[in-house]
Amino acid sequence: MPWGKSDEEKQVEAAQRKLQAQQAEDQRAREAFLRTPVGQATEAKKRGDRFFEAQLDAAQLKGAASAFGSSDNTLRPHASAPDTLGQIEEIGWRLEHVSHAFIETGATTTNRMLGTGQGMVTRGLVTGFYLFRNAD
């Protein structure tokens, strides 16, 4: 009996390892999809839920304080929200209600160097709350 495995046995084992790796990658991709609003909406639709709520960041307020006490805030909108809402409606949900809230994540206050008063920089997120009704 020869030592080691035949070429055929090696090929079979390599094919099995490749299949297992592909299955693991598919599982990771599915789990990542289910963590997204579209994935959650898909699962809620399969369950037959009547309503689905999604929370999406609509914009981010950023800023940096300066040594002179000035404040500079920048509002940066997130472009993905409209696309995500459209994808959820394509699954079979109808947008029923929308509201937004500003969620502060931090603030910095500095005294003005050349004058009186203080400069304040606020940081946070504008979050949209979207309620969908099952269109079926």
Do 30 and 57 fall into the same domain?
Answer: no
- In a shared domain, residues 128 and 63: yes
Residue 112 lies in a domain: yes
Average pLDDT over residues 115-125: 78
For residue 114, is it within any domain? yes
Question: How many separate domains does the chain show?
Answer: 2
**Do 29 and 54 share a structural domain?**
no
Q: What percent of the chain has pLDDT over 90?
A: 48
The position carrying tokens 């006490």 is 69
Strands 71-77 and 93-111: unpaired
**How many CB atoms sit inside 10 A of residue 83's CB?**
10
- pLDDT of 6-41, one tens digit each? 888 888 888 899 999 898 898 999 899 999 999 999
pLDDT tens digits, one per residue of 80-109: 777 899 999 999 999 999 999 999 988 777
67 & 128 share domain: yes
Residue 69: pLDDT above 60? no
pLDDT at 66: 61
43 in any annotated domain = no
Same domain? 31 vs 58:
no
